[in-house]
Structures are given as structure tokens and as C-alpha cells.
Amino acid sequence: MATIDLSPLYRSSVGFDRMASLLDSALRSDTGATGYPPYNIELVAENQYAITLAVAGFEEDDLEIEVENGVLRVTGKKAEENEKREYLHRGIANRAFERKFSLAEHIEVTGAGLKNGLLTVGLVKNIPEAKKPKRIDIGSSTKDLLQDRSKSKGNAA
């Protein structure tokens, strides 16, 4: 497999450290990683998302959800079974797992629910007012703009 060197990106950009780190970790991730548990990522509304994981056999006490430094981590660990069972076939995977999701800026977890073996984590994108687009009204005269500009230059001198 070919490797990609991202060091020029680090040298020639400012403020994109998180993006470069995400690319770097995605390229270095283990390609043989397990696909357990399977999951869906759904766009629910304009700024709302849901991640649904198939966690059949797990109960609420067996699951843990954490968000730290823009990474959502879902872990599951079954408690030890007290009774001894003899299986003829064991196809339901109750093994421990850890699944991580990188969250974009301003994405917040709103809650989680477990129903019918599906764990759903709700997410919302809350963009601060300062980052939202602003509509600029167009005036009828540029004369006022030029006067405002000349006043600010006079104050700066």
C-alpha cells in the first residue's frame, strides 16, 4: 500500500491542524479493522444527525458514550455470564467493542436511546451567531460609504 506524506500540509497551512490530523489518522488507520458493530449515519434534518449502532444483546448498563476533543466514543462490554451455557452455534456477537466517530466543529451530542437492539445517538450542529452568514443591505448612495471611510482614516492617523 502506498503511503502519503502530509508534512507539506503541516508546513504550509495555519489553523488546519485538526483537519490534517484527521486525514493523517484516517490514512494510517488499520485497514483490517472489524466492522463490529454495524452502524448508520443519518441526516435527520438540516442541522440534525443520528448515528445508529446495532448492539443486539447489550443493555444500557453495558454501554458507555463519551465525547472528548471532538471524538464521540461508544463502547460496549458485556458483564460476565454467571450461568454456564453450551452452544451448538453462537452467531450473536456479544463481544466488547469500541467505535469512534470524529465530530466536526460545532457538533454536539443531544442524547442517546436504546430500543430493539439499536443504540441511537442524536447530534446537532449549533453554529454560533458570529459564524453564521450575515446579510448586508445595499444602500442607495456610495457617498456615505466614502465619507465613513475617510473619517476612519482620519482617526487612524
Class at the top of the CATH hierarchy for domain 34-82+89-130: mainly beta
Q: Where are the domains of the chain?
A: 34-82+89-130
* Radius of gyration, CA atoms only, the chain: 25
Our measurement of the distance from residue 76's CA atom to the centroid of its chain's CA atoms, rounded to an integer in Å, reads 19
Is the pTM for the entire model greater than 0.75? no
- Position 7 pLDDT exceeds 80: no
CA distances from 119 to 11, 39, 72, 134 (A): 41, 9, 14, 38
Residue 117 is predicted with a pLDDT of: 93
HEC per residue, 45-94? ECCEEEEEEECCCCCHHHEEEEEECCEEEEEECCCCCCCCCCCCCCCCCC
User: Which of 9, 33, 30, 12 is closest to 21 using CA atoms?
Assistant: 9
Lateral strand order in the sheet of 71-76: 63-68, 71-76, 97-102
pLDDT tens digits, one per residue of 9-67: 666 666 666 666 667 666 665 544 568 899 999 999 999 999 999 999 899 999 999 99
- Position 150 pLDDT exceeds 70: no
pLDDT tens digits, one per residue of 114-146: 999 999 999 999 888 887 788 888 876 666 666
Residue 31 is predicted with a pLDDT of: 47
Residue 32 is predicted with a pLDDT of: 47
- Mean pLDDT over all residues of the chain? 81
Q: State the cell numbers at 143.
A: 457617498
- Position 1 pLDDT exceeds 60: no
